[in-house]
Structure 1
Amino acid sequence: MDAGSFNSPSKSQSRNPLQEQLLQRRNSRENFDRFIPNRSAMDFDFAHYMLTEGRKGKENPLASSPAKEAYQKQLAEVFNMNRTRILAFKNKPPTPVELVPHEMSSFLPQSKPIKPRRHIPQSSEKTLDAPDILDDFYLNLLDWGSSNVLSIALGNTLYLWDATDGSTTELMTIDDENGPITSVRWAPDGRHIAIGLNNADVQLWDTVANRKLRTLQGGHRARVGSLDWNNHILTTGAMDGLIINNDVRVRSHIIETYRGHHREVCGLKWSASGQQLASGGNDNLLYIWDRSVASSNSPTQWLHRLEDHTAAVKALAWCPFQGNLLASGGGRGDECIKFWNTHTGACLNSVDTGSQVCSLLWNTNERELLSSHGFTQNQLTLWKYPSMVKIAELTGHTSRVLFMAQSPDGCTVASAAADETLRFWNVFGNPEVAKPTSKTNSEPFSNINRIR
């Protein structure tokens, strides 16, 4: 082996860490610390002038003459004397190119404009007297029909308030022996209305003809405090714990009976699809009944029995933009709003509101939920969904806000409270596009006139 090969490291021999570090630093300086001028981006005529004549004029201004001043002015026009740099290290950025001609820009998808923040009035826009309204958490005495007529039960009398012209009419008055009125619910056609009574009967009225069509009897044994429609099926819930589906087109109107609650049924809501029914009771239970999965052996078996609430469940609201999402509210011993996946029965979220939850309404134009409350603030609270951040709190009622109803266009909310006032709130703003009122077929109710 010769000396040269002995002194030089072999290929397999590795460098020590210090050598590696020094090598990396040297490579780093070579790659990043040297600034190499770019000749293609330099103006050599301007550079020569600035290094010779241009600097002389600035250093000795007295040596300038009229001829030199004229010459420098001419150079300034050619070379742009405001420049100070002689060396250029990179090319100038290229001139922007219009990829799409201006006349074709209208065919490109436009970005969505930022929606301005909606103003939410903090006070009601209208207040009406509601004397003799019952201060009863378990009843449902207010509803707003698709024909823009509001119905409210005050004691034994049902009044109709036409939101179009502001007129009020008295539809019916029940005698003390059978009253008071314990629930009201408009049919989908906005003409017929169901009225639940304290004597366990349910009356059906034609509000245009101003006459009673029939009375549903024999199903319940106690007052009917909750009602809801599913096309021609009227579902009734009562203090006896029973839920009954009534086909109003036939004489033998009772077609199904749901048994699960063992105390008063105070909340009833069908989903938009008409397949699932949510029921809440004074037994702190929430049931989901599903018509599509009911077996032939047990057609009225519940789909989910939910026990998370610790007080009466009256407030129920199906989400308008997600068919299997249900919001429910608990009474004074619970004070929570809960959200449910009604396909699985899972509780998605629970929010402690700090006060009794009397009713719930979804905003049909935005992802928002409105709740009305009892003790202790008697307010309406607007929530952003799903974050459940408070957007606004509407105050004005001096007693618990027991009932809420939403106008057909989804913008205005009416609230009735134990302080015997009916207030109107422009809480949901104005819809972006006015939706034409759908003409509901009233044919299912035509047979009522022939039933005695």
Structure 2
Amino acid sequence: MSQTLRENGNKTPVGSMRDVFPKNPTSTSKKFSSNQSIFGLNGASKNQKGLRRRDVTPSRAFGGVNVCSGLGGDRYIAIKKSEQDLEFANYLMSQPSDSTFNTSNSAPSSPAKNYEQEQMKRMMRVKSAGNLTDACEEDRILCYKKNMAPIPAVGHLNQAKVLYSTCIQPSSTTKKSNRHIPQHPERVLDAPDFKDDYYMNVIDWSSCGVVAVALSCTLYLWNADSGEIQVLFELDESNEMNLITSVKWSLDGKFLAVGFKDGSLKLYDPQRVCPPNGRLELRTMKPSRQSRNGVLAWRGAVVSAGYQSGQIIHHDVRISQHVTGVWDGHQREVVGLHWSYNQTKLASGSGDNTVRLWDESRLGNSISESLYVLDEHVGSVRAVQFCNYKSSLLASGGGMQCKSIKLWNVNSGELLKSIQTGAAVNGIIFNSDYKEMMSAHACGKLVIWKHPTYAEIAKLPGKDKY
């Protein structure tokens, strides 16, 4: 060993270490690689035997630096939970938009099942700010992009309220949210000369968002989106036969059928430019020996009209011989008509206190008998409506003497439920989004009923009458 030290400059081990790690730190890196072999780290030459490894106590001037630190290494830095969340947020940001976590115990069997599970998961689980698991696209953390504020519900007076009306709840708690049901009308329109007649239907809302309102002998169109009001036509009020008794839009909202007191039925196209002869109507259809038609219902290109005589006459607007069928059965005026959504059955309500169900297969032939006669009402029936989320369900509403809503099975004619409302029922409509039924009453109130129990869940006060 002494011989080896003399061959390297006759220096002691401490002196050699000072050459490698001098007091001046800047010269350390220069000498370390060239003199590293004195410790036998790089091996010895063929004619020179290297040092054996052994622990050497360094001098105080050495500063206690480990000679192996020059080979590189890491030091442990504790990571806080907030930093872990930040790393996880960065991971979420780097994922594709369609990459979501599946927390179910088993993978979905089909895309439809997967979509159903995702919708149920979003509805039942409310995210908290610290719960980063099960992240979806709309709640990706720290996603710096421009987002639009959510649209406020109908009835909100303050548009900015929606920004502060929700709060994040812990995911361990599930709170049932109640939808906002406005208690006041969004718009109030003046309607002078509006005929308050139980046997007339002079207002209808099209699928294109246009409301047709008949005021005596004048027909107005109101666009719900723009608020624009248009006068479609205005007839001479001195002729009482010009009184409008019924209006009904076609299913696509392009054509408007208008009934008059003399029993005539006219067809209009609101987008049509007035021709040189000044006649706006596309055609006029008038059956013989008929008085007013108080209610209309479309089935494709066929308009079914209910007359004061108790007859239901079907008019095909495409052909010159427009009368394609006449159904007899009611003893008094027909005041309610509605085709089912699959266009296979027609329900009619009358002043004879009955509801009749008709099959479309009997349209155009000599058979005019109804399928069923529903006679549980004790008053005239104006409101008849098929359910749009359950095809076998029909609702009918009785007048002042009845004041009840009755639910029927259209396949068997069976009475399923009777609801006492305390007021005459003038109209019924179903809501497929929430599985609800709404009824309008002569006292001016609107009532919402929940399927399938049809318990009352909301009552909207009215100003006057509906």
**Shorter chain as normaliser: what TM range?**
0.5 to 0.7
Q: Which amino acid aligns with 2:187?
A: K
Alignment of 1:83-98 (within 5 A): none
Task: Give the match for residue 398 of structure 2.
Answer: 330
Alpha-carbon separation, structure 2, partners of 1:160 and 1:300: 36
Task: Give the match for residue 79 of structure 1.
Answer: none
**Match status 1:202 vs 2:265:** yes
Match of 2:248 among 166, 179, 185: 185
Match of 2:349 among 280, 284, 295: 280
Match of 2:316 among 219, 230, 247: 247
Cα distance change on mapping 1:104 and 1:125 into 2, 3 Å: closer
Q: How far off is 1:103 after superposition?
A: 6.8
Q: How far off is 1:260 after superposition?
A: 0.4
Match of 2:451 among 354, 373, 385: 385
Match of 1:269 among 326, 332, 338: 338
Question: What 5-or-longer segments of structure 1 have no aligned partner?
Answer: 1-101, 402-452
Match of 1:133 among 162, 171, 194: 194
Alpha-carbon separation, structure 2, partners of 1:141 and 1:315: 14
CA contact (8 A) 2:350 2:380 kept: yes
Task: Give the match for residue 344 of structure 1.
Answer: 412
**Match status 1:306 vs 2:374:** yes
Match of 1:165 among 219, 226, 243: 226
**Match status 1:155 vs 2:216:** yes
Cα distance change on mapping 1:206 and 1:104 into 2, 3 Å: closer
Alpha-carbon separation, structure 1, partners of 2:186 and 2:363: 50
Cα distance change on mapping 1:323 and 1:221 into 2, 3 Å: same
Q: TM-score, normalised by structure 1?
A: 0.63
Cα distance change on mapping 1:350 and 1:172 into 2, 3 Å: same
CA contact (8 A) 1:240 1:263 kept: yes
CA contact (8 A) 2:257 2:267 kept: yes
Alpha-carbon separation, structure 1, partners of 2:461 and 2:103: 49
Alpha-carbon separation, structure 1, partners of 2:225 and 2:305: 30
CA contact (8 A) 2:325 2:364 kept: no
Deviates more, 1:193-202 or 1:107-116: 107-116
Cα distance change on mapping 1:295 and 1:167 into 2, 3 Å: closer
CA contact (8 A) 2:324 2:364 kept: no
Q: How far off is 1:175 after superposition?
A: 2.7
Q: How far off is 1:180 after superposition?
A: 1.1
Q: Which amino acid aligns with 1:384?
A: K
Q: What's the secondary structure of 1:129's corresponding residue?
A: coil
Cα distance change on mapping 1:181 and 1:252 into 2, 3 Å: same
Q: Percent identity?
A: 39
Q: Which amino acid aligns with 2:298?
A: W
Q: What's the secondary structure of 1:269's corresponding residue?
A: strand
Cα distance change on mapping 1:296 and 1:104 into 2, 3 Å: closer
**Match status 1:121 vs 2:182:** yes
Higher-Rg structure is 2
Q: Which amino acid aligns with 1:204?
A: L
Task: Give the match for residue 302 of structure 2.
Answer: 233
Aligned residues: 296
Q: Which amino acid aligns with 1:208?
A: Q
Alpha-carbon separation, structure 2, partners of 1:179 and 1:260: 28
Q: Please, what is the CA RMSD of the aligned residues?
A: 1.9
Task: Give the match for residue 355 of structure 1.
Answer: 423
Q: How far off is 1:219 after superposition?
A: 4.5
Q: TM-score, normalised by structure 2?
A: 0.61
Q: How far off is 1:173 after superposition?
A: 1.9
Q: Which amino acid aligns with 1:124?
A: P
Cα distance change on mapping 1:296 and 1:383 into 2, 3 Å: closer
Alpha-carbon separation, structure 2, partners of 1:283 and 1:179: 27
Q: Which amino acid aligns with 2:408?
A: W
Q: What's the secondary structure of 2:434's corresponding residue?
A: coil
Alpha-carbon separation, structure 1, partners of 2:380 and 2:284: 29
Alpha-carbon separation, structure 2, partners of 1:239 and 1:161: 29
Moved over 6 A (4+): none
CA contact (8 A) 1:220 1:242 kept: no
Cα distance change on mapping 1:295 and 1:232 into 2, 3 Å: closer
Q: How far off is 1:308 after superposition?
A: 0.7
How far does the alpha carbon of each residue in 1:157-191 deviate from its partner, in whole angstroms, 9 at most, with x for none? 11000112100000012333222100000012212
CA contact (8 A) 2:448 2:458 kept: yes
Alpha-carbon separation, structure 2, partners of 1:118 and 1:103: 28
How far does the alpha carbon of each residue in 1:339-388 deviate from its partner, in whole angstroms, 9 at most, with x for none? 0111100010000101110101111211111111114xx21111112212
CA contact (8 A) 1:220 1:238 kept: no
Q: Which amino acid aligns with 2:405?
A: I
How far does the alpha carbon of each residue in 1:63-89 deviate from its partner, in whole angstroms, 9 at most, with x for none? xxxxxxxxxxxxxxxxxxxxxxxxxxx
Alpha-carbon separation, structure 2, partners of 1:192 and 1:227: 13
Q: Which amino acid aligns with 2:398?
A: G
How far does the alpha carbon of each residue in 1:264-312 deviate from its partner, in whole angstroms, 9 at most, with x for none? 10001000111100000111111000123x4998532100011111111
Q: Which amino acid aligns with 1:386?
A: P
Task: Give the match for residue 82 of structure 1.
Answer: none
Q: Which amino acid aligns with 1:256?
A: G
Task: Give the match for residue 326 of structure 2.
Answer: 257
Higher strand fraction (1 or 2): 1
Alpha-carbon separation, structure 1, partners of 2:416 and 2:236: 46
CA contact (8 A) 2:324 2:363 kept: no
Cα distance change on mapping 1:104 and 1:301 into 2, 3 Å: closer
